[in-house]
Amino acid sequence: MDKTFARRRRRDLITALGLAVIAALVPLFVSDVYVQNIMVLTLMYAALSQSWNILSGYCGQISLGHALYFGLGAYTTALLFTKFGVLPWFGMIAGGLISAGIAMALGYPCFRLRGHYFVIATIVIAETALLLFQNWDWAGAALGIDIPVRHDSWLTFQFTRSKLPYFYFALALAAVAWLVTFWLEDSKWSYWWRAVRDNPEAAESLGVVVFNSKMGAAAVSAFLTAVGGSFYAQFVSYIDPESVMGFQFSLLMALPAVVGGIGTLWGPVLGAVILIPLTELTRSYIGGSGRGVDLIVYGTLIVLISLARPQGLVGLFAPGRKGTAR
């Protein structure tokens, strides 16, 4: 009876491995820097959305303030490197830990809020942090931080001549985020989280400590998001508050998961592969003078999907697994 579950897990793992190998080979055939750039961003957003999905998809605590953790990751790495000469690899871990800590400190009051009130709190907190960073002189205030470029090296994680190292790191990031989710899916955590999302009162009656479950989800989600932020800082090598902590990042993390399938293993990946190239292409080809067209495309797509397939596009690929609209 239990074989279906094991078979499904194996199939997921093999599919992921296949996709990772294909993705790893793509740069051999694509030398266009612009396209490579889009591929890096797609993988990064796949990882970010996968992280967002842990708290908001599985645990059901919709956050529209994840830009905060993204920005904290970027700033921690950049500040440690420019002020203290700490290598970005350590900055990445430090950023993750700081974000996880802050997520739990914020969760302490915020997880008492439910539904829309929680969402509003996440937006307000992220916007407040944005304002703080814009006025924090030591951290470069609104001007931001220019990360000094020394020479191409894995040690300082800087590459000026080629985008490929960034691509492979982004691929690894997406793979790690996916694997973490994959592992969590067969752990007590994912069961507790989904129970909390579907019915906190029933979950509590079955021995699930709802509050702790949410805290766990927030910590994991924030940690991974911050690692993504650290990567982004290295990738663009210049950060300012608006470019790493702006509200649009919160949306860009949420949308792939929502479009692909919220609270599913494959949703974020699928959503990122569809949305990120789309938004980059519309921005460069239709964009320019007509700014906002990419947003119109986004909006239209989301309306269409929520009408036709509220459970996300991932349902199209698994006809045997019936999803349930929420």
Partner 1 sequence: MTPLLEIRGVSQRFGGLIANSDISIAVGRGEIVGLIGPNGAGKSTLFNLIAGVAPPTEGSIWFDGEDVTALPAAQRCRRGIARTFQVVKSFETMSVIDNVIVGALARTTIMREARRKAWDVLEFAGLAARAEVPAADLIPSEKRRLEVARALATGPKLLLLDEVLTGLTPIEAQSGVELVRKVRATGVTVLMVEHVMEIVMPLVDRAIVLDLGKVLVEGRPAEIVRHPKVISAYLGDRHAVGA
What is the distance between the alpha carbons of residues 9 and 68, in angstroms, rounded to a whole number?
33
Q: Which residues, other chains included, contact 79 with Cβ-Cβ below 8 Å and sequence gap of 6+?
A: 91, 139, 145
Q: Select the residue interacting with partner 1 from 3, 4, 28, 288 (CB under 8 A).
A: 4
Does the footprint of partner 1 cover residue 183 (CB under 8 A)? Answer: no
Q: For partner 1, which is the closer residue by CB, 239 or 265?
A: 265
Asked if residue 62 binds partner 1 (CB under 8 A), the reply is no
**What amino acid is encoded at 63 in this protein?**
S
Among the residue ranges 26-34, 206-214, 232-240, 249-257, the one whose residues contact partner 1 (CB under 8 A): 206-214
In the complex with partner 1, which residue's Cβ is closer, 3 or 161? 3
Write the interaction track for partner 1 spanning residues 210-249; mark x where CB under 8 A is met and - where it is not: x---------------------------------------
List 34, 117, 155, 186, residue binding partner 1 (CB under 8 A): 186
**289 touches partner 1 (CB under 8 A):** no
Report the alpha-carbon distance of residue 136 to residue 122 in Å, rounded.
Answer: 21
Q: Is 5 in the site for partner 1 (CB under 8 A)?
A: yes
- Alpha carbons within 13 angstroms on the beta-carbon side of residue 250 total 22
Q: Which residue has the tokens 């790495």?
A: 77
**Closer Cβ to partner 1, 152 or 185, answer by number:** 185
Question: Of 97-105, 109-117, 201-209, 284-292, which part binds partner 1 (CB under 8 A)?
Answer: 201-209
182 binds partner 1 (CB under 8 A): no
Q: Is 194 in the site for partner 1 (CB under 8 A)?
A: yes
Phi/psi of residue 201, each to 5°?
Answer: -65, -45
Q: Is 263 in the site for partner 1 (CB under 8 A)?
A: yes
- Our CB check for partner 1 shows the closer of 60 and 268 to be 60
Shortest Cβ 178–partner 1 spacing (Å):
19
Transcribe 61-126 into DSSP letters: ---S-THHHHHHHHHHHHHHHHHH---HHHHHHHHHHHHHHHHHHHHHHHTTS-THHHHHHHHHHH
132 Cβ neighbours under 8 A, 6+ residues apart: none
- Closest by alpha carbon to 95, among 220, 263, 230? 230
Compute the distance between CA of residue 252 and CA of residue 64 in angstroms, rounded to an integer. 10
| Residues in CB range of 100: below 8 A, 6 or more apart | 218, 219, 220, 222, 223, 226
- Residue 188 beta carbon to partner 1: minimum distance, rounded to whole angstroms: 5
Does 324 interact with partner 1 (rule: CB under 8 A)? yes
In Å, how far from its chain's centre is CA 218? 13
Q: CB of residue 321 vs partner 1: minimum separation in angstroms?
A: 9
Strands 145-146 and 238-239: antiparallel
When asked if residue 146 is in the footprint of partner 1 (CB under 8 A), the reply is no
Q: Which residue among 15, 128, 199, 248 contacts partner 1 (CB under 8 A)?
A: 199
Instruction: Give the residue with the Cβ less far from partner 1, 85 or 207.
Output: 207
Minimum distance from residue 310 beta carbon to partner 1 (Å): 12
Q: Interface residues with partner 1 (CB under 8 A)? A: 1-2, 4-5, 186-188, 191-192, 194-195, 197-199, 201-210, 263, 322, 324, 326
